[in-house]
Structure 1
Amino acid sequence: MMDILGGAGEAPANDLIKDVTEETFMAEVVDTSMQVPVIVDFWAPWCGPCKTLGPQLEAAVTKAKGAVKMAKINVDENQRLAQALAQQGLPLQSIPTVVAFFQGRPVDMFQGAVPQSEIEAFVKRIAEAGGGTADGGLGEAVAMAEQFLEDGQAEDAVQVFTAIIGEDDKNAAAYGGLARAHIALEDLDQAEAVLNGAPAEIADAPELEAARAQIELGRQAANAGPVAELRAKVDANPDDHEARFDLAQALHASEDAEAAVTELLELFRRDREWNDGAAKAQLFTIFDALKPNDPVVLNGRRKLSSLIFA
């Protein structure tokens, strides 16, 4: 794996650090973060602390030599983008705000000017989350457990994930995998117990968030109605938002995530504020539960962003 202080050759600075706009955000931040973490610096020309933080952050990112990348977003020139991201949960009311994206979603952040040592620790932590450091072979063990899970050998996956946690009690991939293995064994309560027992330092890690989303969807599936009846209700009255939302849940329960996302996007298009934004919240739950590079996630996020910006 890449050493965060050495790496596989030093990347050009202009490739590591870029000015990003509303038009380039999806490509330079979301898509790029599927391969390498992207640290986004939200700043403005009138912001005094931004003038100090920006160069310090650039120096730390450059020092990481390709283990992370950096995007600089001038919130004054990209107000619609900032507003859309705020609607999706990012606290952008004050700047500077620094948000790290990995595999398409935010994974860590801080606000305000902080000491250089904290900036470097932040960049190092994000680089490690993206695989920018050696792990003593535990990554291979995680991959083996994931293969067990994919092959339907959930009990074997449980054993391997448990062993990994015994070696590294802060291994987010192992905790998330162990929870998903219990989900595969249809033991949602045990899966939830695994996540509740994870150390606070990794409680918000993407691997754990994905497992939480799968648990939530699993509980929804137990109460999902018949697809045919719900489809008939929606066809009879396209403005029956409750029926469309229930249809989306039923479609996901029947393992048709793409169709579920389609119905939720249509509901969001018709009334984004219905039931306190339930359509958008459910979309994020589905996106979190799937692999970040799943076509359903990539297409769904793009379409949702288009609707938000419209």
Structure 2
Amino acid sequence: MSGAVDLSALKERAEAAAAGGRSAGSAGSGTAIVVTEENFESEVLQRSNQVPVVVALVSPRSPASLELADTLARLAATDGGSWVVARIEVDQNVRIAQAFGVQAIPTVVAVAAGQPLADFEGVQSEAQLRQWVDAVVGAVAGKLAGAPQTEPAEEPEDPRFTAAEAALDRGDYAGAAAAYQQIVDTEPGNAEAKAALRQVGFLARVREVESDTVAVADADPDNLDAQLAAADLEVFKQQPAAAFDRLIGLIGRTAGAERTTARTRLLELFELFDPAEPFVVAARRKLASALY
């Protein structure tokens, strides 16, 4: 049908109606849109630049036409917005019926990119409608802009995490740790709470470290507490590779309980980072060499 039907007059009339301040009168039921002369441009012509618009021209005088429109709407809903149905009552919108050259009710016309693409008259079975619609959608595949994407609704914040974060903002590390621990106790598989609990534990520990700890540790390589504190401070200062090397060196120089303590601290620091980080991968290799 493309080029055989001139819809420009309807567009001009719709623009004139809008300029006159009349309501568009658009209403919808599911994916079926009730279309009149006033909203024909927006709901059929403009929308057809995004997805095919199947125009069902019906009349209350023909119950079969109304049933056909309902069937089309149901199929459109099943297809999730890849095409839409515009339902037009010809008795109230004579000019639209004339523009489409309607000679029988129902008449169904597929519009794409503002132009009629295909049409049929009379009642069709649901299987026939499905085949016809699939052919229309396939004919314009990749040629239209597609339905506008809506932003996914934000998930509501978990009040448990909100309370824990509020405690952390106040500097209440003990309170934040207790809040995250409660989540972990209730949901042992909650990875976010576990990660947050590790972070809080690290922050609570590192805030007690003196600013000259690294110098003290460098001057006394065998001081276990100084080495552990210095490693924490280096991680806090965004120097994780240096912290890891410090503790791996300590593991290589110690044995027994001291070695276990150093190794445990190193593994705790590993967990603060993505395991795929290159500096974590390299440090794990060095640790394996130091242990074996």
TM-score (ref. length: structure 2)? 0.40
Rg larger in structure: 2
TM-score computed with the length of structure 1 as normaliser: 0.38
